[in-house]
């Protein structure tokens, strides 16, 4: 496998634009762990191993339990583990990420407005759009997660 381009080297202005989107998302009122949940779920759907790895570690560093991080891909079957807000975030993430199926459905949208309000719903939509863009860069350029030789215990303590 040959090495693919590094966007930061080849198209720095495009990379800067992506960083600006990340900065916007970082400054929103979305809970930090919820941002990581959005990033993990979209990355799982898109098959971006680099982002799944990075954001799973970020969630653990923020104090999330290993159980919750491991169960994100099976959130429907583990509803007792996730709050209603988190389940709604996963539903929105899936519908927007899989936009070719039907997009953000009316029922999901109405529930988001009711639970989060218009401003935060808009912020959540932008967070989902942003990680989807990063996933597409990661998958297209074949970014791979680094090999970690730490134990599970060490990772959780990081």
* pLDDT single digits (tens) 99-151: 999 999 999 999 999 999 999 999 999 999 999 999 999 999 988 888 887 66
Question: How high is the mean pLDDT of the chain?
Answer: 93
pLDDT of the residue at 41 = 98
What are the boundaries of each domain within the chain?
Answer: 12-73+81-142
Assigned architecture for domain 12-73+81-142: Up-down Bundle (1.20)
Q: How far apart are CA 124 and CA 12, in angstroms?
A: 26
pTM of the model: 0.91
Given a cut of 80, whether residue 16 has pLDDT beyond it is yes
Asked if residue 25 lies in contact with residue 130, where contact means CB atoms within 8 angstroms, the answer is yes
What is the torsional sign of CA 126, 132, 133, 138?
positive
- In percent, how much of the chain has pLDDT > 90? 80
């Amino acid at each position: 496998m040959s090495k693919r381009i590094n966007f930061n080297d080849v198209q720095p202005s495009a990379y800067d634009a992506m960083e600006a989107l990340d900065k916007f998302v970082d400054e929103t009122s979305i809970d930090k762990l919820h941002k990581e949940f959005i990033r993990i779920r979209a990355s799982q759907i898109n098959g971006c191993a680099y982002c799944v790895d990075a954001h799973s570690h970020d969630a653990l560093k923020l104090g999330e339990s290993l159980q919750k991080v491991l169960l994100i891909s099976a959130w429907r079957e583990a509803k007792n583990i996730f709050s209603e807000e988190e389940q709604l975030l996963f539903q929105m993430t899936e519908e927007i990420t899989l936009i070719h199926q039907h997009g953000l459905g009316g029922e999901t949208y109405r529930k988001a407005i009711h639970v989060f309000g218009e401003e935060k719903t808009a912020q959540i939509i932008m967070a989902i759009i942003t990680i989807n863009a990063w996933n597409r860069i990661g998958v297209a350029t074949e970014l791979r997660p680094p090999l970690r030789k730490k134990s599970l215990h060490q990772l959780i303590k990081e």
